[in-house]
Structure 1
Amino acid sequence: MSLVTPVILGSVRSDRQGLRAARFLIAQLEALGHEAPLVDPAELKLPLLDRMYKEYPKGEAPRVLEDLAVLYRRADAFVVVSAEYNHSIPPALSNTLDHFLEEYFWRPSGIVCYSAGQYGGVRAAMQLRAMLCELGTPSIPSLLPIPRVGKMLDANGRPQEDWLGRSAAKFIGELVWYAEALKAKRAEGVPY
């Protein structure tokens, strides 16, 4: 089954390394026949959160939010690519995620975290788990941490060590399992 899985990038820094991780995940998902559009807040130039998408009168939200809402309603799952800033998630990621709510409901998420150091951003991932669950897109049990991201992935997102491809395959397999299960249940109806 082909799935729609937006890959939400969390950093807007000019020298960000997360784009490597996002490109890697997109390539892995597309190789399996899934649609994996990049949601890049640096390109989208999202406004700082003043009102959530749902708080705008119908048809009056900024175009960028309308377009994301359409994409998110089509989504079967989400992949969130997060750096670790001060042991937490980047502010651009929080801003990107917080614009929506119901569009995430009943869809799983997978967390890809990264850092320049050896821990691969896992401290940020722990905080992100709570946030994603509250948004209605609970994360799958597995994480895909990428330590020393600048060495593990080249600028185009190609892995420089074999273990990363194997880890990504397991991570994506688990995400697809949850996405297919929840897609089938959404087709039957949701609790409210």
Structure 2
Amino acid sequence: MNFKTLVFYGSYRSDRQGIKAARFIIDQLKQRNHEVIFVDAKEYDFSILDRMYKEYDQGQAPAKMEELADHIRTADGFVVIAGEYNHSIQPGLSNLMDHYLEEYFFRPAGIVSYSAGGFGGVRAAIQLRAFLSEMGMSTISSIFSISKIGNSLDEAGTAQEATLTKRVSQFLDELEWYEEALQRQRKEKGTPF
């Protein structure tokens, strides 16, 4: 089965390490025949939230915002990649994602967290789980955390540790299970609202 999966990434830093995690996940998804849309906050560069997508009159939202809304509405699921900033998620990530709401409803999200240290950004992942659930996404139970990202992945996003490739397989198996189940439910029974 083929899935359309959006990969959200929110760092604006000039020497951002998390881009390696994004490249790794994108490659793993493509190997599984996903249609992958990379949603890089730095590329979309929405200003600080003033108006949500839904607050524009139809056809009046900026072109990039409209394009992303269409991708979100037609996605089967999401992977959200978050570095840990002060025990929470990056402001660029939350700002990007906050521009939308109903578009996310009834789709699963997998969380990838990372950090320079040994905890792998799990404190950010815990914050992110509540954030994504509030936006109407079902977060899968597994969190894919990457510790010491500077050494775990090279610039191309190639794993430098065999355990990463092994662990990501189980994470993506679970995401795909939810993508298929919720896709089927949306098609056959619609959504509660």
Which letter does structure 2 place at the counterpart of 1:133? S
1:34-183 matched pairs, under 5 angstroms: 34-183=34-183
TM-score by length of 1: 0.99
Alpha carbon RMSD of aligned pairs, Å? 0.6
Q: Provide the residue aligned with 2:192 in structure 1.
A: 191
The 3-state SS of whatever aligns with 2:4 is: coil
Which letter does structure 2 place at the counterpart of 1:104? Y
Q: 1:172: how far off? A: 0.3
* Aligned counterparts of 1:18 and 1:139: Cα–Cα separation in 2: 20
Which letter does structure 2 place at the counterpart of 1:173? D
Q: Deviations over 1:21-52 (max 9, x none)?
A: 00000000000100111100111111211011
Q: Deviations over 1:146-171 (max 9, x none)?
A: 00011000011000000000110000
* Aligned counterparts of 1:51 and 1:146: Cα–Cα separation in 2: 34
Which letter does structure 2 place at the counterpart of 1:67? E
* Aligned counterparts of 1:37 and 1:191: Cα–Cα separation in 2: 27
Q: Which runs of 5+ in 1 are unaligned?
A: none
Q: Provide the residue aligned with 2:23 in structure 1.
A: 23
Which letter does structure 1 place at the counterpart of 2:137? T
Q: Deviations over 1:65-121 (max 9, x none)?
A: 101001111100000000000000010011011000111000000000000000000
Which letter does structure 1 place at the counterpart of 2:147? P
Q: Deviations over 1:49-71 (max 9, x none)?
A: 10110000111111111010011
Q: Which runs of 5+ in 2 are unaligned?
A: none
* Aligned counterparts of 2:89 and 2:112: Cα–Cα separation in 1: 12
Which letter does structure 2 place at the counterpart of 1:109? A
Give every structure 1 segment of 4 or more consecutive aligned residues whose post-TM-superposition deviation is greater than 2 Å.
none
Structure with the higher fraction of residues in strand conformation: 2
Q: Provide the residue aligned with 1:12 in structure 2.
A: 12
Identity of aligned residues (%): 54
The 3-state SS of whatever aligns with 2:13 is: coil
* Aligned counterparts of 1:45 and 1:88: Cα–Cα separation in 2: 20
Report how many aligned residue pairs link the two structures: 192
The 3-state SS of whatever aligns with 2:140 is: strand
Q: Deviations over 1:127-146 (max 9, x none)?
A: 10001000011210000000
* Aligned counterparts of 2:47 and 2:68: Cα–Cα separation in 1: 13
